[in-house]
Amino acid sequence: MIYFSTRNASPPASLKTALLDGLAPDGGLYLPDALMPLPDGWQGAPSLAGLGAHVLAPFVADTVPNAEALVRDALNFETPLVRLDDDLFVLELFHGPTLSFKDVGARTLARFAHALLEPGERLTILVATSGDTGSAVADGFSGLPGVRVVLLFPEGRVSEVQERQLAIERPGVTPVRVRGTFDDCQRLVKTAFEDVRFRAHGRLSSANSINIGRLLPQSLYYLDAVRQLGDTPRFVVPSGNLGNLTAGVMAHRAGMPAAGFVAAHNANRGFADFLAGDDLRPADTVQTLSNAMDVGRPSNAERLTALLPPERLRALVRGTVTDDATTRASIRDAYDRYGYLACPHTAVGLDAVRRLRGEGASGPMVVLSTAHPAKFPDVVAEATGVTPPEPEALARLRGLPDVAVTVEPTLDALHDAAFA
């Protein structure tokens, strides 16, 4: 299998290059030259791990040694479909170790990247985070021989739960608290990639959300939803950088039945407006309650338009926009009606369902539930009066020492703290 760039101005790449470089040299995003095929009988696979073994492992087996065992180990948690009413379901993607769907992509990418290293080759993953990606990447790569993770997060700008997940000690992970904003963290990552000093310890890679190695495994939980439902749903996807939606569209293009998709956005509405007929315009990011979806320039729009021309994309995917007040109301509504505690991202998806039903849409709808409500205890408690019970995975982090090193937002400070 070879991987080509959406901009068609880079040479075709191997899976290793696509996974470890992330971005193609021409600035485009990698796509495989053929979609991941759905082998006969995929509906019979008993779990997410089973689907991984049956669908994803054969697709990478020519380059990734031991692919099936790695996939089974990466996807060792359930993605249950929970029924809320006759035609409304949530697909809970937050039962992995860091309690968001980012675990699916990060854990698989980590195992593949490690398996593709040459003997003795070393890899450093440098990642800036303000949300769920950081802890998923740190957890996913931690402990793999020859791999180190340097995790940058902005001081005082991540939630208490997030900070607990980011700043703990993990083998092979150096958490770095930056005296600055998330933009400072991203700038440091970008400039570090241009500075040879940061490559003294081996290959440097970023594992960010445009990596095709994260999208391929994400297609599997869409299949898992269809398998559990035994019917053809419309998928409602709380969206930011559009990786999740792209994974669903890739599965559908490969033959998975779907009655359509909804890209459910918060106030960062550029892609929803594009789906309604506008040009795609980059916009400044607006801060919202569903902060993991605060993306003004969604990178994966480029992949979606490479997969389908605009008119076909608009026929398949509908966009919706939900503001913060309506997100709060949606959290409350899910609790009042169904006794269900939804995180703010999932609530944006549930609001899209309310809207579509108001327009007369019928048939089964599956909302992807992207994070555990306990990651956002304050917002959920404010809307419902109920504090989500803390899962074991968060409770056991309480009281663990904070090992993050704190640095000024300069390249020299980052180098001395984590690369010297």
Ligand X SMILES: *Cc1c(COP(=O)(O)O)cnc(C)c1O
Minimal distance in Å, beta carbon 89 to ligand X?
17
Q: Which CB contacts under 8 angstroms, 24+ apart, belong to 23-26?
A: 23/210
Q: Which is nearer to ligand X, 117 or 307 (CB)?
A: 307
| Nearest approach, Cβ of residue 121 and ligand X (Å) | 29
Nearer to ligand X, 174 or 209 (CB): 209
Q: How far is the CB of 343 from ligand X (least distance, A)?
A: 6
Residue 292 Cβ vs ligand X, minimum distance, rounded to whole Å: 3
- The DSSP bridge partners found for residue 150 are 126, 174
Q: Kindly state the smallest distance separating residue 130's Cβ from ligand X, in Å.
A: 10
Comparing CB distances to ligand X, the nearer of 240 and 409 is: 240
- DSSP reduced 3-state for 153: strand
Smallest distance, ligand X to C-beta of residue 347, A: 11
Q: Is the dihedral of CA 225, 80, 360, 245 positive or negative?
A: negative
Do residues 45 and 53 make contact, with C-beta atoms less than 8 angstroms apart? yes
Query: CB under 8 Å, gap of 24 or more: what pairs does 274-279 form?
Result: 274/301, 274/319, 275/313, 275/314, 275/317, 275/318, 275/319, 276/319, 277/314
Which of residues 10 and 239 has its CB atom nearest to ligand X in the complex? 239
CA distance 145 to 392: 27
Q: Which is nearer to ligand X, 127 or 242 (CB)?
A: 242
Residue 154 or 238: which CB sits closer to ligand X?
238
Each as own residue / partner, the long-range contacts of residues 57-63 (CB below 8 Å, 24 or more positions apart, any chain) are: 59/1, 59/32, 59/216, 60/1, 60/15, 60/112, 60/216, 62/1, 63/1, 63/14, 63/15, 63/16, 63/116
Return the number of the residue (115 or 166) whose C-beta is nearest ligand X.
166
CB of 293 to ligand X, least distance (A): 5
What residue ranges bind ligand X (CB under 6 A)? Answer: 100, 102, 131-132, 209, 238-244, 292-293, 345, 370-371
